[in-house]
Homo-oligomer: A and B are copies of this chain.
Amino acid sequence: MSNKPSIPKGTRDFSPIEMARRNYIFDTIKNVYKKYGFQQIETPAMENLSTLIGTGGDESDKLIFKILNSGDYLKKADKENLIAQNSSLTTKSIAEKALRYDLTVPFARYVVQNQNDITFPFRRFQIQPVWRADRPQKGRYREFYQCDADIIGSDSLLSEVDLIKIIDDVFTELFQGKLNYTVSINNRKILQGIVESVGESNNFEAIVVAIDKYDKIGSEGVKKEIEFLGIESENIEKLELLLLSKDLIVLGNELNPTNDIKRNQEILEGLSEYLELSINGKKGIEELEFVFEKLEQLGIKTANVKLDLTLARGLGYYTGTIIEVKIDNFPSITGGGRYDDLTGKFGLKDVSGVGISFGADRIYDVLLDNNLYPEFKGDSTQVLFINFGETEQDYCLPLLFQLREANINSEIYPSAAKMKKQMTFANNKGIKYVVLVGSDEMESGKLTVKDMETGEQENLTIEELINMIK
């Protein structure tokens, strides 16, 4: 093989500068999670296939990467299916393991498996890659990182408040107040209530699927989809009134302190009256009220927090609060919600939890497009000793190690290459200081130090150089 090598489509290598940016995002999220009492766990890349399938529906199952059994795997395969070349019936017999599809299912499995060692309510975070056999396209990869935080084993709505404050903290730090972003909140129980109160409970799932397309097809599109379900026009009008009204409540923040608390309360009261006959609906309003009230009291830094009744977040496992973060004209960068039966599949019933997931790859692009990364100079080499030959090299080596002992990232060019080559190396690697040592410097003990950014040169002892950098 001597063709230029490549990597599987939808996957990526990360170069040093890309790693610095990614670590910056991960570290920011990690530190905020820790501030809120979350603890990190990791789970293996591979899970038993039986753990993963049947959790997100047939479409999701197709997107799971399966791992071929080791050894003589075909021996155990069903011969009839093999001969018929029936892929879907063969898979289970030749692939017992698969790559995780998200971090939520492995977490549910972890909780059940380790339930006796876990202190509930359990605040865990997890930052790891996941794999999906999706069609790759701009911004969609087959290997990508999720940054999840969940609080499991408590139905307290303080958890929701914490998660929304976490979102506010993370994006306040990453966006530095320079980007407008919206945290939309809704509650699946309110959606249920609305559908119940117009007598269309039987059509709940289909209606949610339609509403979920709001951002793609607009209010008229959603209306048409709902008409198509054969729902009476009178009921559609009732639904329309509520479902197609966005931005019902908007909380102010430190940048736009435009809270109209009275108006917000009136809206919730109005909704509450409307849903009076639905237990689910009233419960949903109550939950929402609590969350908004606490957020108003505690204050928001930079997020535009709003109630959006058109937010549905698919057919997933959500049963209460749902949350989604968006920047204008960009897909969701963070999402989450409350679930009541995540661990039921693994035999542990009635455990309520709520979680969010930051999409690191989309956040990466947003920060890059908007030039919001800090400089990472200190992360790479700070000082390079130019190598003029054996004598000078021997003189420089102990000095180099003095810098390293002082925790200054430094190196010596490994051979006495041409000066130009060594300077180009320093430039390409973004090294700030270059140290030149010839016979004059060895005699005086004063090193010639060149600042590669300003071009200025100074004569310094090694101690002076260390002090200058520190």
Contact = CB atoms under 8 A, between A and B. Distances in A.
A109 B5 contact: yes
Interface in A1-49: 1-8, 11-16, 19-20, 23, 31, 34-37, 39-48
Task: Identify which of A68, A154, A381, A428 gathers the most chain B CB atoms within 10 Å of its CB.
Answer: A68
A143 B46 contact: yes
Contact of A159 (B12, B13, B86, B414): B414
A421 to B, nearest CB: 10
A91 interface: yes
Interface string A70-106: 1111110101001101111011001111010000000
B46 A15 contact: no
Contacts of A114: 13, 15
B90 A397 contact: no
Q: How many copies of the chain does the oligomer comprise?
A: 2
A62 B68 contact: no
Given A113-B13, A114-B15, A5 B154 contact: no
Interface string A133-145: 1000000001100
Contacts of A142: 46
Contacts of A429: 39, 119
Contacts of A415: 154, 156
A123 to B, nearest CB: 7
A451 interface: no
Given A1-B346, A41-B15, A298-B401, A72 B46 contact: no
Contacts of A432: none
Contacts of A298: 397-398, 401
B4 A379 contact: no
Interface stretch (A183-191, A262-270, A402-410): A402-410
Nearest to A143: B44
Contact of A158 (B23, B414, B428): B414
A297 interface: yes
Given A35-B404, A70-B65, A297-B397, A346 B2 contact: yes
Size category, A interface? 35 or more
Given A35-B407, A113-B6, A159-B414, A41 B68 contact: no
A67 to B, nearest CB: 5
A87 B73 contact: yes
Contacts of A77: 85
Contacts of A96: 8
Contacts of A48: 5-8
Contacts of A197: none
A285 to B, nearest CB: 19
A113 B67 contact: no
A424 B118 CA distance: 12
A115 to B, nearest CB: 10
Contacts of A54: 1
A342 to B, nearest CB: 13
Given A5-B48, A5-B109, A7-B51, 4 more contacts: A35-B409, A37-B380, A67-B67, A119-B428
Interface of A: 1-8, 11-16, 19-20, 23, 31, 34-37, 39-48, 50-51, 54, 62, 65-68, 70-75, 77, 79, 82-83, 85-88, 90-91, 94-97, 99, 109-110, 112-114, 117, 119, 121, 123-124, 129, 131, 133, 142-143, 151, 154, 156, 158-159, 162, 165, 294, 297-298, 345-347, 379-381, 384, 393-394, 397-398, 401, 404, 407-412, 414-415, 424-425, 428-429
- Listed from nearest, the 9 A-B pairs whose CB atoms lie closest are A156-B414, A37-B411, A11-B44, A16-B39, A119-B428, A37-B381, A70-B133, A2-B347, A74-B85
